[in-house]
Amino acid sequence: MGETESKKTESEAKVTADQNSTSPTKSEHEHDHAHHDHRGCPAHILKEAMASQKDEKIEEESTFSQIRSYIILLIFAAITYATYPGATWGNRGLEPNIHTVFYYGWISAISTGFGVLPLCFISEMKPYWIGVSNAIAAGMMCAASYSLFMEGCTFHEAGDTSTLSSTARTVIGLGLGLLFILGTKSFLEQNEDVKVGSLSGADTRKILLIVFVMTLHSFSEGVGIGVSFGGEHGHDLGVFISASLAVHNVPEGLAVAIVLLPRKVSKVTAAIWCVVTSLPQPLMAVPAYMFVHSFLPLLPVGLGFAGGAMMWVAFMELLVEAYEDTDMVTTGIASTLALAVMLQIQQSIDEHA
């Protein structure tokens, strides 16, 4: 009898232990509640992306996708050769035309792809260095945003007929840029099954967000190229602005590449994406040159728009993920150094203007 009661007691204790192990504790309930309350914040989205990367092995880019990238690269080379303006290249004092304006804008866009070159010597990046890379990209984007804001606030051209100050128009553009990027982010979150090449889910949402922002930035740069060719200094100023942007686009391409390559995107495909973010430069340069007086009043709005969107992504996406992969000190040092170097490069370009 005593033996039976002993076994019964042990059985009840085992059942109780099983129930305790399967039942969530109070702290777990609180954690789940907090988890659901913060589903909309960028930190949660980034953690979700990182968790999915840990749970699911990121697939290498398919051979078909790489072949397609090489074909696109050949098309870019063919366009570069076919649109070469011949004797007009480098000749001073010549009147610009649509052909030359497009070509200089195209060369500026193609230079973005060279941002991949420094990463060609790296086979695989560990999570820590991915975080450092994200911090560097954030610093570069912050520097670009600052330059856009300053250029918009200090914008002054003789043909600018707007009654609003350039600062007010830049601030309006900043607000519109933030609204646009938040709307874009919300749209991408609602379409979780979106797939681009070898990227899918949270990876694609993040990549598309960054590509959208860098592309928006290129719209204002394209307008800047067209306006410079259509201004009073004509060809000489347009060539200088295009060359300056070409140099400036290389580190911007690097910022895009260091976000793409850890997602198992090939270097050729990463270069294609870098160029895609700058394609608005030749496309917007031509109409801006043809209708220079119509585009001038809108240029500060475009600069503020691109700067606001880029600043949001730098702070709310890249820096948060960099902190998750590294720590506060590493993220701060890497982003600050990248910011300082980019500002120094831009200052050097301005001094030679």
pLDDT at 1 over 70: no
Highest mean pLDDT, choosing among 68-82, 89-103, 172-186, 280-294: 68-82
Residues 280/144, Cβ–Cβ less than 8 Å: no
CA-to-CA distance for 233 and 246, rounded, in angstroms? 20
Residues 108/281, Cβ–Cβ less than 8 Å: yes
pLDDT at 192 over 60: no
Residues 143/318, Cβ–Cβ less than 8 Å: no
Task: Give the side-chain half-sphere CA count within 13 A for 136.
Answer: 16
pLDDT at 186 over 60: yes
Instruction: Name the average pLDDT for the chain.
Output: 75
pLDDT at 344 over 90: no
How confident is the model over 217-235, as pLDDT tens digits? 788 778 778 877 875 556 7
pLDDT at 27 over 60: no
Region 64-86: mean pLDDT is 89
CA-to-CA distance for 220 and 252, rounded, in angstroms? 15
pLDDT at 31 over 50: no
Residue 270 burial (CB < 10 Å; 0-12/13-18/19+)?
A: buried
Distance of CA 69 to the CA centre of its chain: 20
Q: Which residue has the higher pLDDT, 148 or 10?
A: 148
- Output the six-digit token pair for 267: 């270097």
CA-to-CA distance for 67 and 54, rounded, in angstroms? 28
Region 52-70: mean pLDDT is 68
Using DSSP, state whether 267 is helix, strand or coil: helix
- Output the six-digit token pair for 86: 């011949």
CA-to-CA distance for 244 and 151, rounded, in angstroms? 14
Which pairing describes strands 195-196 and 199-200: parallel, antiparallel, or unpaired?
antiparallel
Residues 264/60, Cβ–Cβ less than 8 Å: yes
CA proximity to 215, closest of 264, 270, 284, 131 = 284
Residue with tokens 């792809």: 113
Residue 334: what pLDDT?
A: 93
Residue 32: what pLDDT?
A: 42
Residue 172 burial (CB < 10 Å; 0-12/13-18/19+)?
A: middle
CA-to-CA distance for 155 and 295, rounded, in angstroms? 13
CA-to-CA distance for 259 and 253, rounded, in angstroms? 10
CA-to-CA distance for 173 and 301, rounded, in angstroms? 4
- Within 8 A by CB and 6+ apart from 114, the residues are 250, 253, 271
Rg for the chain (alpha carbons), in Å? 25
DSSP designation for 314: I
User: Greatest CA separation found in the chain?
Assistant: 112
- Within 8 A by CB and 6+ apart from 49, the residues are 201, 202, 203, 205, 206, 321
Residue 58: what pLDDT?
A: 55
How confident is the model over 135-174, as pLDDT tens digits? 887 888 888 788 888 888 988 877 777 889 999 999 998 9
